[in-house]
């Protein structure tokens, strides 16, 4: 007879990992977990991509010299600009509350739950390289 014990152990481990990951969807300085990033991707594509671009490349902006300074373009959210200078918590807060500078970046709390937004942050972080992950947040200045 096949010994079922190893399978039981495996399932228990999987379940524990899933349950524990519920509140560690994304953590500053750490790679997001794959499931959260996967949940965040379709939300990003529905609500954010029209401005922040496919895979977070940002909105194409004309050169500074000819652009209207009062119009805010959507920055890149991949690791090419400064999204990674913020902690996860700050990103979540900014997305929920919106920008104080422009009504273009609305307060998404009217539309999305905190969990949705954490999943979106996990997706955004899945677009970052290892260096941005390691140096994320307040320590970005001393880390590079
Ligand atoms: C209608 C266009 C638009 C949409 C849609 C939009 N944003 Fe934005 N977003 C902006 C603009 C413009 C800014 C710049 C705001 C500023 O400079 O204060 C911004 C800024 C941000 C920032 C700050 C980035 C940084 O480097 O400081 C984050 C994070 C962000 N948006 C996430 C999101 C997410 C997540 C969604 C989808 C839920 C979303 N945005 C949808 C226009 C948009």
Domains, the chain, in order of start with CATH, read 28-58+75-143 (1.10.760.10)
Residues contacting residue 143 through CB under 8 Å, at least 6 positions apart: 134, 135
Ligand 1 pocket member 75 (CB < 6 A): yes
Q: Model-level pTM?
A: 0.85
Pick from 140, 127, 137, 119: nearest CA to 47: 119
Three-state SS for 50? helix
Confidence band, pLDDT 50/70/90 cuts, at residue 143? confident
**Closest Cα to atom 2 of ligand 1:** 51
Residue-level pLDDT at 28: 87
pLDDT at 105 over 50: yes
Residue 86 has pLDDT above 90, yes or no: yes
| Tens-place pLDDT, residues 4-61 | 665 555 544 444 444 444 444 457 899 999 999 999 999 999 999 999 999 999 999 9
pLDDT at residue 95, as a whole number = 98
pLDDT score for 142: 86
The CB of 113 under 6 Å from ligand 1? The reply is no
């Amino acid at each position: 007879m096949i010994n079922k014990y190893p399978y039981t152990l495996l399932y228990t481990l999987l379940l524990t990992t899933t349950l524990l990951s519920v509140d560690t969807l994304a953590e500053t300085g750490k790679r997001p977990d794959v499931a959260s990033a996967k949940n965040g991707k379709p939300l990003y594509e529905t609500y954010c991509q029209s401005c922040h671009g496919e895979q977070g490349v940002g909105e194409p902006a004309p050169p500074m010299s000819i652009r209207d300074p009062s119009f805010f373009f959507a920055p890149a959210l991949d690791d090419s600009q400064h999204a990674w200078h913020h902690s996860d918590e700050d990103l979540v807060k900014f997305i929920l509350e919106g920008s104080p500078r422009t009504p273009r970046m609305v307060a998404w709390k009217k539309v999305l739950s905190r969990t949705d937004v954490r999943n979106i942050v996990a997706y955004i972080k899945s677009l970052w390289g290892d260096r941005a992950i390691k140096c994320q947040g307040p320590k970005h200045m001393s880390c590079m």
